[in-house]
Structure 1
Amino acid sequence: MPILEIGQDKINYQLKREDDIYFVKIYLDDLNGICVTAPSKKQDENVEAFIVKKKKWIKEKWIKIHDDLYQTVQIETGARVSYLGRKYKLITENSTEQETYFTFQKGKFFFTYPSSLSNEEIKNELNKQRDQWLQQKASEKFKQLHSNDIQSEDDHYRLGFKKEDGILLNWRLIQRSKPEIQSTIDDLIEEKTF
């Protein structure tokens, strides 16, 4: 399965070659991600150039389909963070410390930040810290959800991938409920497409 790095984004795609077509087609499979069909004689670099050209469209469509996995958290009263299918209250506080901290305690998320940061910097740091925390938890929790070897992977614009020896899951799935994650694992095992 080829992987294409475009800036900070990684697009893992499935490439299928056919003799009876004359142009490249891109299809977004809800589960498996990006599927590309290309003419048999089309060179790989031309296929990749087409994917690069369509990167913005791919990203917009993928995020629209899975908008629950790409929510940004705002610094506002009543803000919540999704984790394992529940939305937990977020408490934000400025601090005299120069570091930012993001923790989960007693059913609430806490984010502390230096008072020297601008509102935009606070929002960016909050989402960065939240993503790092969720990625770490995905690595821990996914392994507990199934008897197969389940590992988390970077966001490659797919929910997961079935390998010979296990399953890779997009770390962002840690925001969904355990039954939803297990359903995704089962769909990958059964090699479903949507």
Structure 2
Amino acid sequence: MEANTINIHADLIARCRNEDRSAQFEIYKLYNKAMFNTALRIMGDKDDAEDVLQEAFVSAFQKLDSYREDASFGAWLKRIVINKSLNQVQRIKKDLMLAEDIKENVSEYEPDNAEPNYTVHQIKSAMNELPTGFRTVLSLYLFEGYDHKEISEILGITESTSKSQYKRAKDKLKMIVRQEVNYG
């Protein structure tokens, strides 16, 4: 089947393949913000996300010959950023917190049925407080669009563990945000 992807940056990519530094900088300027946000959602820390971003761009430029143009350059680069983020999470974590290993004191009590509106800042702040395993699964599912089967393959966990971590992550996130609203 013939690829129907039109790469709007084909000229820049061709120049990058010839190690043109100005073209590499142009590509960086085009994609750095989106890729940083992807890394940040997984890493939960600005400095770690910046490190991942740098590694991802260096790797992308080094492996540009492997880019087959059957997908957009942005999608290809995003995959590198996600992989680098996941590798970094695995390097820096003391242990991946699998759902079976986590004991939580999450209250099931809901004071009212109405869901309050939370600010983006409150959600981001709460995301950073999640355990690494929770934050990783939640980010991959909600923000990166992976399903639980794909997450299980990426992280080397079972699909049911991915689903369980996702549910617990949502519950923990709600608890953290509510505490911040009530006591913050």
Structure 1 length normalisation: TM-score? 0.28
Question: TM-score w.r.t. structure 2 length?
Answer: 0.29
Instruction: Pick the structure with more strand per residue.
Output: 1
